Amino acid sequence: MQDESKRKKVSNFSKLETLTGAALMTMPLPPTRMIVENLIPQGLHIFGGAPKIGKSWLTLWLCLRITQGEPVWNLPTEKGNTLYLCLEDSFARVQNRLLDFTEDAPDTIHFATMSETIAGGLVKQIEDFLAEHPQTNFIAIDNLQRVRDTAGEANAYANDYREVNALKSLADKHRIAILLIHHLRKQADDDPLNMISGTTGLTGAVDGIYVLKKDKRTGNTAKFIATGRDIEQRELTLEFDRDSHLWNLVSDDTEHTSSPAGAALTVVKNYLQREEIFIGSATELAEQLCTKTPPAVLSKTLMQNQHALAAQGIQYSHSRTGNRREITLCVTVLTQLNQVLAAVFQADEFLEWAARGNSDTSEADKKAIAKLIQRDHQLRVLTRRVFEQNASGAITDETFTELYGGYQAEQKVIAAKIATLEAKLRD
């Protein structure tokens, strides 16, 4: 009977939902959301430091900077609503601290001095808050011990992991950052992961760990160590200003350079502003862009940043034929329309200038430029149309290649003729 009961229990489990590698490679997924660029991504994080070291001042400042969309130590932030659960403070103390930072706090930063525990309803409270304030992207809980259940399981590791994982699931679901303020162990350690108080169930469940550590308890300088799944480990040297209560940046061991992905996307955008459409392999695209970015990295960057491309008016897709993987990039209809309107405006301005300041200019030259510009606009529209027809299967790849190649060749000839006539008019 016991064996039959076990079999029934197993049979009630839901089937594993799996994805093939090929399906996963073609699935458009949003990139990791960065609340503070290269420092605080979406997910659950622990911020540890000794008692009374200045964690609360730093946390309040972070909430304020994010809700105002202001940089954090020269790093850009994503502006959004913030929630600070300052569970060891009163509203009077929070007000006092807030007045040290600003005289005009925005209504997009929210405070609470009381909440339920994680198991007692905190997750539901945060869910309700997010429903009322959907623009929220950052929540700080000061501190972790205040929202834990005192009567836990006998297995400390399991209890740590279970409690923290409930908040991690919440952060992942809403793609927000949740920062848990916590204490450090008394014994020093070179590895920041080992400095967090508690079992490895805490550090294993979270996505990022931040540690604020002073060399001397009475000193003003401290190391801010950051490490996580979605960021590179970095160490910042900070100095606490006792008058303004600000943690000012002294140095950062990571150079502030634009990300490879951002640089690649900029090059692609500039290329498409000229050519409008690209169809080919990642290797061929890298050659067209004259970039040092390896084709495999370029392909990965484009696939992972489809949303960023779309926001810039660029449509991305890819397909596989045999062993060849082709990338298609083109400007969207709206972007193309804007480009055409800008070109028309530029052409009209030029012709008006030619008419006003060059009375001796040949009318035939001016009319020739107008006709060339008009034909160039027609070619832009025709190019877009054949691309859409090919994508829908209305014309074959061979026909598309022939038409597209002809349009591009004619546009290059037109550009050369317009440049020659413009130079003649301006001389």
Q: Residue 164 CA to chain centroid, in angstroms?
A: 24
Mean pLDDT of the chain: 80
pLDDT digits (tens, 9 = 90+) for 128-173: 999 999 999 999 999 898 998 765 556 777 888 888 899 999 999 9
- pLDDT tens digits for 373-415? 777 777 777 777 777 777 777 777 777 777 777 777 777 877 7
Q: Which CATH class is domain 19-252?
A: alpha beta
Predicted confidence (pLDDT) at residue 282 exceeds the cutoff of 60? yes
Specify whether the CB–CB gap between 336 and 276 falls below 8 A: yes
State residue 424's pLDDT score.
67
- CB–CB of 210/173 below 8 Å? no
Check pLDDT > 70 for residue 182.
yes
Give 202-234 pLDDT, tens digit per residue. 888 899 999 998 888 788 899 999 999 988 889
296 pLDDT band (50/70/90 cuts)?
confident
Q: What confidence category does residue 265 fall into, taking pLDDT thresholds of 50, 70 and 90?
A: confident
Angle formed at CA 62 by CA 60 and CA 68, multiple of 5 degrees: 105
CATH code of the domain made up of 260-331: 1.10.10
Handedness of CA 248, 236, 59, 51 (dihedral sign): negative
Beta pairing class for 177-182 and 43-49: parallel
pLDDT bracket for residue 357 (50, 70, 90): very low
Average pLDDT over residues 78-83: 96
What is the C-alpha separation between 249 and 412, in angstroms, rounded? 52
Q: Is 312 helix (H, G, I), strand (E, B) or coil?
A: coil
Global pTM value: 0.68
Asked whether the beta carbons of 112 and 128 are under 8 A apart, the reply is: no
pLDDT at residue 284, as a whole number: 86
* Alpha-carbon span 284 to 293, nearest angstrom: 12
Take residue 81 and report the two structure tokens written for it. Answer: 């609503």
Burial of 364 (0-12, 13-18, 19+ CB in 10 A): exposed
Tell me the pLDDT band of 307, cut-offs 50, 70 and 90.
Answer: confident
Domain ranges of the chain: 19-252, 260-331, 333-426
Checking if the pLDDT of 323 tops 80, the result is no
Give the pLDDT score at 155. 73
Provide φ and ψ at 86, rounded to 5°. -95, 80
Residue 261's pLDDT is 65
Rounding to the nearest 10 degrees, give the CA dihedral for residues 113, 118, 120, 121: 70
Residue 268: how many other CB atoms lie within 10 Å = 24
pLDDT at 5: 56
221-228 and 234-241 beta bridge pairing: antiparallel
